Amino acid sequence: MRNNELSAWVKEVADHTKPDAIRWCDGSMNEARSLEDRMLEDGTLVRLSEKLPASFLHRSHPTDVARAEHLTFICSEREEQCGPTNNWMSPEEAEGKVWPLFAGAMRGRTLYIVPYVMGPVGSPYSRVGVQITDSPYVVANLRLMTRMGDVAIRQLGRNGQFVKGLHSLGDLSPERRFICHFPQTKTIWSIGSGYGDNALLSKKCHALRIASVEGRDEGWLAEHMMVVGVTSPEGVKHYIAAAFPSACGKTNLAMLVPSFPGWKIETVGDDIAWMHVGDDGRLWAINPEAGFFGVAPRTSFRTNRNAMAALSRDVIFTNVAVRQDGMPWWEGLEDLPEGEVVTDWRGHPWSKASGDRAAHPNSRFTVSARQCPAVGPSFDDPRGVPISAIVFGGRRARIAPLVYEARDWTHGVYVGATLVSETTAAATGALGIPRNDPMAMLPFCGFNMGDYFAHWLRVGERLTHPPRIFHVNWFRRGDDGQLLWPGFGENIRVLKWIVERVDGTGDAHPTPIGLVPTYDAMDLRDLGIGPRRFDELVHVDTRTWQGETSWNEIFLDRFGKRLPEPLAREHRALVARLRKAAKV
């Protein structure tokens, strides 16, 4: 028995888009194999080596390889609801400008209806969404990324509410490419793109932009955060949520293989967390997704053994290269034999002498999370997991120390609100440019970020046992330009100090920006990092940070009266502490 609102919406869309056929997706394996066969026949997919059963390559259009942030809009009733960090389009303008692009857009194609559950099935914190799409590639990805099909129809019921996502490839023209979000009606329109975050509407569009508005209205947080369980050799377990901009090592941290024995990591989620205040006054988190949409370049058995183990079968690779034996390849995976020619992400012959990249720098893999050895029972726990610490981080070559701790919740919100990171290939535009990215949510917050900061503060007021908040930076470089920290599995040493701080045992000393570990407090055994190099890793240069606060003041001023006064006070206090320290 189908939901009445869903049936009416499907009819409305079908009447407008004029598909040749309509298919309700049930999430079955037979359905998946049927779609794969169709895409193999028309060239949408390329079958890979038999060493990777049921695994395929997809090549997207060369103009459609990353998030189109400049073409992504929040269609709130008023522009001030959208805020200065989002692109705004009124619902009326979208009706006149974008809706007509869907007229007849599905002629010659099949309209797929994909119901899905975000979060563990049956959890009170889960939500149902339905995506209509004319891309079987999108359907195949949603099968891996969500709990998709009949299970969602059952959870939705006859009268349940759901997020409506409408997607069409259109003609893939950048001039007719739009991703529009309507927070008031919980609706998403996407046309002209087949790339992941623009076309997989369950992900950033639903789970962050729409969900962040739902969370604001209902008192919970939808965040661009991974979640891991960290267990000490003594069996003490803490869960940590961490926010990093895309392509800054978040997936590697989520699937961390510790560099020394006794410590264990459980992967709960690698990208998105929905967090609620529990009856016990703690913050609890679920992972709304069921799969990983990871960045392929630099992923290897050295950097992320668990991710590589997950990529053993049933994987969709997008815009990677392919070796002669049908195995996928990308920069950072493994060295190629001298002279070997591979097929690059555009489908052309490539060798090391070509001078460009074989795999696109934002090439991806999509795989079920259940194939990752580090995923444990917490992944499907309908209650979620209690969060002991929140970590913010990004790429900063010079300024930010390896790790520091905020003084309290309000200071931690300020640390997250003033997060700055250098841009990566996950979005279109120049690379390596510092930009403010509050809580790593700049491209994903569905409403005014001034109100978003205030929402964080309100959530904190309800927490009797709030998580401690930290900032990390794996990417600090020395005067010689080389990375000072080895990263990857060695990051367990930073997590160890963080959970020791939570337990009240880790030592730290104060700086104007927060608390940094002492040399003796950080477990550096067998790492070859002496006191001098460690000081360089955690050094806080007060004069450089004064410039940073000036940069951040310009950013915060954009929110005008919507900037919460507690954050303005935190900013003034930091400026005063830096000024005082610079005089010493």
Q: Has 417 been labeled as part of a binding site?
A: no
Nearest to 47 by CA among 30, 61, 33: 33
Q: Has 364 been labeled as part of a binding site?
A: yes
Q: Has 167 been labeled as part of a binding site?
A: no
Q: Has 555 been labeled as part of a binding site?
A: no
Nearest to 418 by CA among 406, 428, 426: 406
Q: Has 372 been labeled as part of a binding site?
A: no
Q: Has 450 been labeled as part of a binding site?
A: no
In order of 81, 454, 455, the CA distances from 451 in angstroms are 9, 5, 6
Q: Has 319 been labeled as part of a binding site?
A: no
Rounded-to-integer distance, Cα 556 and Cα 420, Å: 12
Q: At what angle do helices 409-417 and 449-461 cross, to 10 degrees?
A: 160
Q: Has 285 been labeled as part of a binding site?
A: no
Give 202's DSSP letter: I
In order of 138, 140, 167, 189, 192, the CA distances from 316 in angstroms are 11, 8, 20, 24, 21
Helix, strand or coil for residue 520?
coil
Q: Has 247 been labeled as part of a binding site?
A: yes
Rounded-to-integer distance, Cα 201 and Cα 189, Å: 9
Q: Has 395 been labeled as part of a binding site?
A: yes
Q: Has 162 been labeled as part of a binding site?
A: no
Our answer to whether residue 248 is catalytic in this structure is yes
Q: Has 576 been labeled as part of a binding site?
A: no
Q: Has 83 been labeled as part of a binding site?
A: no
Q: Has 425 been labeled as part of a binding site?
A: no
Nearest-5° angle of CA 435, CA 437, CA 438? 145
Q: Has 232 been labeled as part of a binding site?
A: no
Q: Which residues contact 342 (CB under 8 A, 6 or more apart)?
A: 321, 322, 323, 324, 329, 336, 349, 350, 351, 358
* Active-site residue identified among 180, 248, 372, 445: 248
Rounded-to-integer distance, Cα 521 and Cα 551, Å: 32
Rounded-to-integer distance, Cα 41 and Cα 161, Å: 37
Catalytic residue numbers read: 248
Residues contributing to the annotated binding site for Mn(2+): 204, 224, 271
Binding residues for substrate: 67, 246, 362-364
Instruction: Enumerate the known binding-site residues.
Output: 67, 204, 224, 246-252, 271, 362-364, 395, 488-491
List, as residue ranges, the binding site for GTP: 247-252, 364, 395, 488-491
